[in-house]
Amino acid sequence: MNIKLFKRNWTKFYKRAFITTFFITSFLTLVDQGLSTPIFASKIDNIKSLIDAMLLIFYFSVGSGLLAIIALMLLTIATKET
């Protein structure tokens, strides 16, 4: 078990996953709005649907960051301390 790996890298793992997912889902939502029938998020035509789309992007980003932390925990358990 390599606890130092977790202590040094947990913020880096979380930030990287959060920012990457934020940009990807923002881009997908932007492209999706150009389609006649959106696939990813509903058509943004009022403030409520804009807030819903922004919350969807934020929730996906937070969830991705938490998955990255779980993956780092598994790496911490699987590796030996040197």
Check: CB of residue 75 under 8 Å from CB of residue 63: no
Q: Domain span at residue 34?
A: 3-78
Domain count, the chain: 1
What pLDDT is attached to residue 67?
96
Name residue, tokens 């969807």: 56
pLDDT of residue 48: 94
Q: What is the pLDDT of residue 18?
A: 97
Contact 72, 13 (CB under 8 A): yes
pLDDT in the model for residue 55: 94
Distance, in Å, from the CA atom of 10 to the CA atom of 29, rounded to the nearest integer, reads 28
Rounded to the nearest angstrom, the gap between the alpha carbon of residue 23 and the centroid of all alpha carbons in its chain is 9
Helices and strands in the chain, H and E counts: 2, 0
What's 71's DSSP letter? Answer: H
Q: What are the residue ranges in the chain where pLDDT is below 50? A: none
What pLDDT does 36 receive? 86
